[in-house]
Amino acid sequence: MQQWEYRRLCYGWDDERRDLIWEDTKEGDVDGDTLDKRLNRLGREGWELVSVEKISDVSHVVVNFYFKRPIQSSTENQLQSPQMQQVEH
């Protein structure tokens, strides 16, 4: 059975702090990337966008992007070239 891993990317504005909210569940706070660059990079890494959620109140507007990608089975890992295995570890 296929298993999945999940990831959330949070992007928004905090009026109280007068600052962008920009966080990746796998990497923490994100600096220097535009939203387009980050979404394109996640796509190249095999992440598929499955849902978008907008949350807003008086001082915050946040958009959560939810992604998933298949978890490779141990058989698939063994079939990869040794060079690819070294990059992943």
DSSP state of 43: H
Domain that holds residue 39: 4-88
- pLDDT higher than threshold 90 for residue 74: no
CA dihedral 47, 20, 30, 50 (to 10 degrees): -10
Contact status, residue 49 vs residue 65, Cβ threshold 8 Å: yes
- Between CA 62 and CA 22 the distance in angstroms is 9
The pTM is what? 0.68
- pLDDT higher than threshold 60 for residue 65: yes
Summarised one tens digit per residue, pLDDT across range 1-58 is: 899 999 998 888 777 777 777 777 676 556 667 788 888 989 999 999 999 999 988 8
Note the pLDDT of residue 31.
Answer: 62
- Between CA 40 and CA 45 the distance in angstroms is 9
**Structurally, how many domains does the chain consist of?**
1
Summarised one tens digit per residue, pLDDT across range 79-89 is: 443 443 443 43
Note the pLDDT of residue 54.
Answer: 92
DSSP string, 1-38: ---EEEEEEEEEEETTTTEEEEEETTTEE--S--HHHH
